[in-house]
């Protein structure tokens, strides 16, 4: 008798516990908050919960195009470039987990954002996947062990667990890493000073100017492209800035006016966007046929359209104009009373003219002259180039160049 009752009790008990388990799991399920896809300015690393075997190469075995494009992107090398490695291992400003939270967010660590990540030097020696991949497939696409996408399909579900996340398709997703301020070294979650990168704010400025694109993706991920080009890409920089050059005589043979016009193109933020270390210069000069500089430039009163732009001393050719976001004591958060440093970058929708009066000694303009303007893109200012050990020529390049003739007076087409 006893021996029959006990198994029955056990069965009932097991069933009850099992049911309760289901109940509890149901309750837990309904209150379970999915891990956000968004990043938080480097405050935390990402926890993907990816099953063992989910590597970038595995994703790439099916998504070949995305994989190849990503391999050629800056995201892929975000933690492994020479520049990043030098700065990240530098005791002065690097050695913070904070840096890796954006540049290689899958860092398997739980230290405070400001603390020295355990095993940092070993990581650079051994190059584990999370470091070598930088901002990788799993960083952007995997949470709670499932693939996160803007579109879920049956075909996709056959290959891997998935969930839909509209936020992946919005500007805020990019801004979680692409907009942030300087961080205190000794306070784990305290920022100071102005935004060091302000992509989202500038994007909102672009939208307010009537810009049509509603997301970063529209320009940086056309047709779902994963190469995400930016300032390293000539085509992108050209797309951002148009340049036009005009030269004409005011007083034939003695005085001419040269005007360089820059026009913001299809770009959703100030130019150059991104890091404060990037800048542009416009270099204009008047040359003889054998390449000698000739004439003396002078600023035209009221010739520039922006008051706050800074014009480098006009002390001869080439005349150099700088489009740059300067960071002073106020921006660095060192002195809140300090005057704001200028931001001379091109604004969304802006057209800017730089005009110069050019004086010629008598006779110096009697042969055909050439006026030349060049737009240079600079990846970084001299201080950073020095820190990284780059010759200056390696971190700057001409992205636009234009020449127009300034023929001697009386040599115009109608006289010929």
Subset of residues 123 to 152 that bind ligand HEC, contact rule: CB under 6 A:
135-142, 147, 149-151
Q: By C-beta, is 240 or 375 nearer to ligand HEC?
A: 240
Q: Which of 172, 265, 159, 151 is nearest to 219 (CA)?
A: 265
Q: How far is the CB of 157 from ligand HEC (least distance, A)?
A: 8
In degrees, to the nearest 5, what angle opens at C-alpha 205 toward C-alphas 199 and 209? 140
Q: Does 174 help bind ligand HEC (rule: CB under 6 A)?
A: yes
Q: Does 59 help bind ligand HEC (rule: CB under 6 A)?
A: yes
Residues 6+ apart with CB under 8 A from 129: 55, 56
Q: By C-beta, is 132 or 149 nearer to ligand HEC?
A: 149
Annotate each residue in 268-297 with x if it binds ligand HEC (CB under 6 A) or - if it does not, as one string: xx-xxxxx--x-------------------
Q: How far is the CB of 335 from ligand HEC (least distance, A)?
A: 21
Q: Does 193 help bind ligand HEC (rule: CB under 6 A)?
A: no
Cis peptide before 272 (omega within 30 of 0): yes
Report CA dihedral (403, 409, 410, 414) to the nearest 10 degrees. Answer: 40
Q: How far is the CB of 142 from ligand HEC (least distance, A)?
A: 6
Q: How far is the CB of 297 from ligand HEC (least distance, A)?
A: 28
The span from the CA of 101 to the CA of 75, in Å, is: 13
Taking each helix axis from N to C terminus, what angle separates 199-208 and 171-178, rounded to the nearest 10 degrees? 140
Q: How far is the CB of 119 from ligand HEC (least distance, A)?
A: 17
Q: Does 189 help bind ligand HEC (rule: CB under 6 A)?
A: no
Of 295-354, which residues contact ligand HEC (CB under 6 A)? none
How many other CB atoms are there within 10 angstroms of residue 287's CB atom? 18
Give the three-state DSSP class for 207. helix
Give the three-state DSSP class for 235. helix
Q: Does 56 help bind ligand HEC (rule: CB under 6 A)?
A: yes
Q: Does 168 help bind ligand HEC (rule: CB under 6 A)?
A: yes
Tokens of 383: 């201080």
Q: Does 36 help bind ligand HEC (rule: CB under 6 A)?
A: no
* C-alpha separations of 245 from 153, 208, 260 in Å: 52, 29, 5
Q: Does 409 help bind ligand HEC (rule: CB under 6 A)?
A: no
Q: By C-beta, is 29 or 155 nearer to ligand HEC?
A: 155
CA 264 to centroid of chain Cα atoms: 17
Of 225-254, which residues contact ligand HEC (CB under 6 A)? 226, 228-233, 236-237, 239-240
Find the binder of ligand HEC among 102, 195, 294, 323 (CB under 6 A): 102
Q: By C-beta, is 135 or 369 nearer to ligand HEC?
A: 135
* C-alpha separations of 388 from 165, 194, 317, 340, 360 in Å: 39, 24, 30, 28, 43
Q: Does 264 help bind ligand HEC (rule: CB under 6 A)?
A: no
User: Taking contact as CB under 6 A, which single stretch among the options 75-83, 242-250, 306-314, 402-410 is the one that binds ligand HEC?
Assistant: 75-83
Q: How far is the CB of 347 from ligand HEC (least distance, A)?
A: 11
User: Taking contact as CB under 6 A, which single stretch among the options 62-70, 246-254, 282-290, 310-318 is the one that binds ligand HEC?
Assistant: 62-70
Of 198-217, which residues contact ligand HEC (CB under 6 A)? 199-200, 203, 213, 216-217
Q: Are 103 and 258 in contact (CB under 8 A)?
A: no
Q: By C-beta, is 298 or 350 nearer to ligand HEC?
A: 350
Q: Are 257 and 245 in contact (CB under 8 A)?
A: no
Number of chain positions touching ligand HEC (CB under 6 A): 92
DSSP secondary structure string for all residues of 137-199 = HHHHHEETTEEEES---HHHHHHS-EEE-GGGGSHHHHHHHHEEEEE-SSSTT-EEEEEEEEH
User: Taking contact as CB under 6 A, which single stretch among the options 73-81, 122-130, 330-338, 397-405 is the one that binds ligand HEC?
Assistant: 73-81
179-210 burial, b if ≥16 CB within 10 A, otherwise e? bbbbbeeeeeeebebbbbbbbbebbbbbeeee
Burial degree of 377 (CB within 10 A; 0-12, 13-18, 19+): buried
Q: By C-beta, is 262 or 267 nearer to ligand HEC?
A: 267
Find the binder of ligand HEC among 144, 184, 218, 298 (CB under 6 A): 218
Q: How far is the CB of 389 from ligand HEC (least distance, A)?
A: 12
């Amino acid at each position: 008798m006893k021996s029959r009752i006990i198994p029955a009790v056990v069965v009932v008990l097991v069933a009850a516990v099992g049911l309760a388990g289901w109940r509890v799991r149901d309750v837990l399920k309904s209150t379970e908050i999915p891990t956000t896809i968004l990043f938080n300015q480097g405050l935390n690393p990402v926890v993907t919960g990816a099953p063992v075997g989910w590597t970038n190469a595995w994703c790439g075995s099916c998504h070949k195009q995305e994989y190849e494009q990503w391999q050629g992107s800056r995201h892929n090398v975000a933690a492994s470039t020479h520049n990043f490695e030098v700065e990240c291992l530098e005791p002065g400003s690097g050695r913070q987990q904070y840096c890796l939270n954006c540049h290689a967010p899958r860092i398997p660590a739980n230290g405070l954002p400001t603390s020295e990540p355990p095993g940092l030097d070993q990581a650079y020696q051994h190059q584990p996947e999370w470091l070598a991949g930088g901002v990788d497939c799993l960083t952007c696409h995997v949470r709670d062990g499932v693939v996160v996408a803007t579109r879920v399909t049956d075909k996709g579900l056959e290959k891997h667990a998935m969930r839909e996340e509209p936020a992946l398709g919005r500007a805020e997703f990019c801004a979680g890493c692409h907009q942030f301020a300087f961080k205190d070294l000794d306070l784990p979650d305290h920022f100071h000073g102005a935004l060091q990168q302000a992509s989202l704010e500038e994007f909102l400025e672009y939208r307010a100017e009537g810009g049509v694109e509603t997301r970063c993706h529209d320009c940086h991920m056309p047709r779902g492209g994963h190469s995400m080009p930016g300032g390293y890409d000539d085509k992108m920089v050209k797309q951002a800035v148009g340049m036009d050059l005009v030269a004409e005589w005011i007083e034939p043979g003695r005085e001419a006016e040269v005007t360089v016009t820059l026009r913001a193109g299809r770009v959703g933020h100030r130019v150059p966007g991104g890091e404060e270390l990037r800048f542009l210069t416009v270099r204009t000069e008047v040359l003889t046929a054998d390449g000698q500089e000739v004439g003396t430039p002078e600023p035209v009163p009221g010739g520039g359209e922006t008051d706050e732009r800074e014009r480098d001393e006009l002390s001869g050719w080439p005349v150099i104009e700088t489009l740059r976001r300067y960071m002073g004591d106020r921006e660095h958060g060192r002195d809140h009373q300090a005057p704001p440093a200028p931001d001379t970058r091109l604004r969304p929708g802006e057209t800017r003219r730089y005009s110069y009066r050019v004086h010629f000694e008598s006779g110096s303009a009697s042969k055909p002259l050439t006026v030349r303007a060049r737009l240079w893109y600079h990846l970084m200012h001299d201080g950073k180039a020095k820190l990284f050990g780059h010759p200056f020529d390696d971190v700057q390049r001409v992205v636009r160049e234009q020449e127009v003739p300034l023929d001697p007076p009386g040599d115009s087409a109608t006289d010929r």
